[in-house]
Structure formats: structure tokens, C-alpha cells
Structure 1
Amino acid sequence: MTWFSYARGQFLLSWKVFWRNRRSTFIGFLLPVLLNLVVAAPLRGKEIGGVNAAGYTTVGFIGLALATSFVNLLTGIVARRDELVLKRLRGTEVPPTAIFAGQLGSGAAVVLLQVLVLGGVSVGWFGTPLPADPLLLLLALAGGYLVFAVLAVALSGLTPSSETAPLVATPVLLLCMFGSGVFTPLASLPEWLRLPAHTLPLAPVVQTLRTAWFGREFGHESWDGGPLASIDLLHGWQTAAPQLLVLAAWAAAAVVLTRRLFRWEPRHG
């Protein structure tokens, strides 16, 4: 069998397990969609930074889908480790990279489905325009997913069991949810919190997604501020460059943590 055959088998298995587990389906798929309907729908007709406020918030929830995928990936990896699935697979001819490529690929497919659902709601119901720069949008999504996926692999090494996985994952999810500009601009936070908030792994993703979707230089917008000037594609990439560098730094740190913390066998003691 080829590497792709092994990865495909792991992908299909992870895909089936995800949709059969009600908890993972709710957190990993339904939560961002339902929260978006509750938070963004009342903002129809309002604006922030010169764009549709409901669409602005929806793009934030697209970013949040990456954080919810982290929760399910962490729980799934720890469960497979504790059930000795990872140990048994490591003892076979299945390449380790194929084991994780299949599982992480399944999570990426769920995120892509969420993007289509949330994007469809934003464009079809809220009247948001189509993305101004789809390539930059996809790059931000791919980079953000990579960071959270590798962080899930790394932090699985610190998670004693699948029962305690929510204790590790939930604080990360809440920190990203309320400190990365998903619901409201970072400028609305107390001044002493703004710099730390900008360095969270989800913050550069959300900011870049909004720049790519609306073609404006986000990062300093506020609810009572004026409209932001439109920018062309080149300036959009220039605006996103610092955010992509922060994301790259997080990716590098996640890889280092994975090499040091990940365990193939259950934790004892």
C-alpha cells in the first residue's frame, strides 16, 4: 500500500468517528454556526469599519472554527493514545505521518464545511459581498488550522486522559473566543490587554480573514469609529504580512512543543 492509501484509511476512520460522536459534532461543527446565528443576526443593518457588522462577526466565527477543531483533535488524539491505537499503528508498516495526516485531514474537511456554511449564511442572509482575496483567505485558514492542529498533537502529551482533555482544551477555546476579536474588535478591550490579545494564535488569523474578505485594513477598527479605507490586493498582502509572521512563529513553536511533549503511549501516574 502507498502512503496515500494509509492516510486515506485514517481519514475515513476519523471522519466516521467524528460524525458518530454527538459531543464532537456539537463542539466541532455546530457550536460556531449556532453562536454565529445568535450573535451576528442582531447586527444586520449595522456597520463596523465600513462593512456589514453581521458579516464582520461571521468571519470571526469562521476563525473560531479553527479553535473548536483544536478541541476535537486534542480529545481524539488522547483517546486513540489511551486505547493503544497509536501504539499499535506505530508497530505496523503505517508511516507515522500518514496516521496524523488522515486524522488532521478529517478535521480540515470539517473546518472547510463550516467555512462554506458560515460563508453561505453571511453572503446569502446578511448580504456580505464575496471575498475580495480568496487566496489570502485560504492561506490564513490553512496556516491557522496547521497551528491549532499541531498544538493539539503537542498538548496531547500533557493531557493525562481523554476524560481530562476538556480541562486542557476549554481554557484555550475560551481564551481564543473572547480574546482574539471573534465577537468584537480588539480595540474594545482594555488597553493593557490589547497587545497580549494580538499575540494569541487566533488573533492574526481573524484579522487576516477579515482583510482578505472585505479588502480593508483591519486591526484598529472600533464600533464607534469611521469606515476603513479599501485596499487593493497587493496592499492586502502587505497588511497581512505581520499577522502571517505571528502565525508562522506559532507554527514553529507548536512543532518544537510536539517534538518534546508528544507521547505514543498512555501516561502513567
Structure 2
Amino acid sequence: MNWTHYTRGQFLLSWRVFWRNRRSTFVGFLLPVLLNLVVAAPLRDKQIGGVDAAGYTTVGFIGLAMVTSFVNLLNAVVARRDELVLKRLRGTEVPPSAIFAGQLAVGGVVLLLQVLVLGAVSVGWFGAPLPADPLLLLLALTGGYLVFAGLAFALAGFTPSAETSPLVATPVLLLCMFGAGVFTPLQSLPSWLRAPAHSLPLAPVIQTLRTAWFGRDFGHETWGGAPLARLDLLHGWQSVAPGLLIVAAWAAAAVMLTRRFFRWEPRRG
């Protein structure tokens, strides 16, 4: 059996577990969609940075979907570790990379479904345009997802049990939700919080998503501020380059932490 076959088996197993678990389905799939309908709908016909505020917020919730993927992945990995599933798999001929890849693929497909749903809401209901730079959008989605997936594997090494995984995941979810510009510009935060907020892994991802979608120089927009400058494709990439470097740094840190602290067996003795 080759690596692809093993990965497919891990994917199908994780896929069934995801949709059968009501909590993972709600947090990992429905939460960003439902929150977006509640938060973004009242913002229709309002403007921020020269674009429709509802569409602007919807793109932010695409970023939040990466964090809910992190929450679900952390819970799933810790639960499989505590149930000795990972230990048993480690003792078989299934390559460790196939175990990781199968789990990652499930989160990636769920994220893609969320992007399609939220994108359809943004374009079809809120009247947002189609993405101005699909390639940059895909890069932001891929990079952001891999960062938060890596953080899930890394933090699983610090999580004592499945019962305590919400205590680890929830602060990350709340910090990203309210401190990374999901539904309000970072410029609306107190001045002393702006620099730390820009350094969070989600903030540059959301900025890149919005620049890729609307073709404008996001990052310093404010409620009631002037429309942002329109960017061609080249200047769009230049605008988000510093943020992409931050994302790359977080990805490297997540990989190093995973290699150092990830455990295949339960932490409790």
C-alpha cells in the first residue's frame, strides 16, 4: 500500500468522525457562518474603506473559520491521543506523515466549504464583487490554514487531556475573534493594542484575504474613513508582503513546536 492510500484511509476516518460529532460540526463548520449572518447582515449598505461593510466583515469571518478549524483539530488530535488511537497507528505501517495529512485534509475541505458558503453570501446577498486576485486569496487561505493547523498540533503537546482542550482552544479563539480584525478594523482598537494585534497570526491573513478579494490596500482602514486606494495585482502583492512574512514566521514556529512537543501517547501517567 502506498502513502496516498494510507492518507485516504485516515481522511475518510476523520471525515466520518467530524460530521458525527455535533460539537465539532457546530464549532468547526457552522459557527463562523452563523456569526457572520448575525454580525454582517446589519452592516449592509454601510461602507468601510470604500467597500460594502457586510462583505468586508464576511471576508473576516472566512479568516475566523481557520481558527475554528484549529479548535476542532486540537480537540480531535488530543482525543485520539487519549484514546490511544495515535499510539496504535504509530505501531503500524501507516506513515506518521499520512496520519497528519489525512487529518489536515479534512480540515482543509471543511474550510473550503465554508469559503464557498461565505463567499456566496458575500457576493449573492451583500453584493460584494468576485475576488480581485484569486491566486493571492488561495495563498492566504492555504498559509493561514497551515499556520493554525500547525498550532493545533503544537498545542496538543501542552494539552493534558481531551477534557482540558477547550481551556487551551477557547482563549485562542476569543483573542483572534476580537483582536485580529475579524469584524472591526484594527485601527478601532486602543493605540497600545494595535501593534500586538497586527502581529497575531490571523491579522495578516485577514488583511491579505481582504486585499485579494477587494483589490484595495487594507490594514489601516477605519469606520467612516476615506476609501482605500485601489491596487493592481503587483501592488496588491507588495502591500501584503510584510504580513505574509509574519504568517511564514508563525508557520515556522508552529512546525518547530510540533516537532519538539507533540506526543503520540497520553500525557497522564
Is TM > 0.5 for Structure 1 vs Structure 2? yes
Q: Are 1:246 and 2:246 counterparts?
A: yes
Measure, in 1, the Cα distance between the counterparts of 2:224 and 2:189: 14
Which residue of 2 is the match for residue 232 of structure 1?
Answer: 232
Which residue of 1 is the match for residue 116 of structure 2?
Answer: 116
Offset of 1:247 from its aligned partner?
A: 0.2
Unaligned runs of 5+ residues in structure 1 are none
Offset of 1:74 from its aligned partner?
A: 0.2
Residue by residue over 1:67-123, the C-alpha shift from the partner in whole angstroms, topping out at 9 and shown as x without a partner, is 000000000000000010100101100000000100011011000000000000000
Measure, in 1, the Cα distance between the counterparts of 2:167 and 2:73: 14
Q: Are 1:268 and 2:244 counterparts?
A: no
| One-letter identity of the residue aligned with 1:158 | F
Identical columns (%):
82
TM-score by length of 1: 0.99
Which residue of 1 is the match for residue 43 of structure 2?
Answer: 43
Secondary structure of 1:164's partner?
Answer: helix
Q: Are 1:68 and 2:68 counterparts?
A: yes
Matches of residues 157-172 of structure 1 in structure 2 within 5 Å?
157-172=157-172
Secondary structure of 1:36's partner?
Answer: helix
Offset of 1:126 from its aligned partner?
A: 0.3
Measure, in 2, the Cα distance between the counterparts of 1:53 and 1:229: 16
Which residue of 1 is the match for residue 195 of structure 2?
Answer: 195
Measure, in 2, the Cα distance between the counterparts of 1:203 and 1:54: 18
Which residue of 1 is the match for residue 15 of structure 2?
Answer: 15
Q: Tell me the C-alpha RMSD between the 2 structures.
A: 0.5
Matches of residues 20-35 of structure 1 in structure 2 within 5 Å?
20-35=20-35
Measure, in 2, the Cα distance between the counterparts of 1:120 and 1:183: 18
Measure, in 2, the Cα distance between the counterparts of 1:49 and 1:67: 25
Number of residue pairs matched? Answer: 269
Which residue of 2 is the match for residue 140 of structure 1?
Answer: 140
Which residue of 1 is the match for residue 216 of structure 2?
Answer: 216
Unaligned runs of 5+ residues in structure 2 are none
Matches of residues 122-133 of structure 1 in structure 2 within 5 Å?
122-133=122-133
Measure, in 2, the Cα distance between the counterparts of 1:28 and 1:268: 27
Residue by residue over 1:132-175, the C-alpha shift from the partner in whole angstroms, topping out at 9 and shown as x without a partner, is 00000000000000000011001001101111100000000000
Residue by residue over 1:195-252, the C-alpha shift from the partner in whole angstroms, topping out at 9 and shown as x without a partner, is 0000001001000000000000000000021101111000000011111000000000
Which residue of 2 is the match for residue 156 of structure 1?
Answer: 156
Measure, in 1, the Cα distance between the counterparts of 2:204 and 2:8: 31
Measure, in 2, the Cα distance between the counterparts of 1:268 and 1:11: 28
| One-letter identity of the residue aligned with 1:51 | V
| One-letter identity of the residue aligned with 1:208 | T
Which residue of 1 is the match for residue 104 of structure 2?
Answer: 104
TM-score by length of 2: 0.99
Which residue of 2 is the match for residue 185 of structure 1?
Answer: 185
| One-letter identity of the residue aligned with 2:210 | R
